[in-house]
């Protein structure tokens, strides 16, 4: 199920970005959480986060609402890569 959530995140985020090559997703498992780290270019970060974080919150709402078999909670971190030219 882990890859399904990752695919969902990418399906939502990729259409919002200009630098699709800069989009990457990593996962980190902790005791209670399955953490998804979404890396986007600094230029696209504003589109992904949105005004007052509304787009990011909408993405998180969709991702968190997915029914998954794992007992761990899902978290999504959006990380802008600021070292772009």
Give the pLDDT confidence of 34-66 residue by residue, as tens digits: 999 999 999 999 999 999 999 999 999 999 888
Question: In degrees, to the nearest 5, what angle opens at C-alpha 8 toward C-alphas 7 and 11?
Answer: 85
* Mean of pLDDT values over 2-18: 90
Q: For the whole model, what pTM was predicted?
A: 0.84
Domains of the chain: 2-81 (3.30.300.20)
pLDDT tier at 27, thresholds 50, 70, 90: very high
Q: Hey, what are 25's tokens?
A: 């997703």
Give the separation between CA 42 and CA 80, rounded to whole angstroms.
5
> What's residue 50's pLDDT?
93
> What's residue 48's pLDDT?
94
> What's residue 1's pLDDT?
52
């Amino acid at each position: 199920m882990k890859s399904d959530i990752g695919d969902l995140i990418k399906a939502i985020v990729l259409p919002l970005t200009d630098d699709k090559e800069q989009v990457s997703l990593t996962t980190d498992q902790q005791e209670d959480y399955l953490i998804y780290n979404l890396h986007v270019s600094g230029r696209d970060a504003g589109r992904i986060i949105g005004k007052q974080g509304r787009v990011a919150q909408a993405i998180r709402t969709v991702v968190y609402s997915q029914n998954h078999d794992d007992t761990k909670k899902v978290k999504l971190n959006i990380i802008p890569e600021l070292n772009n030219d």
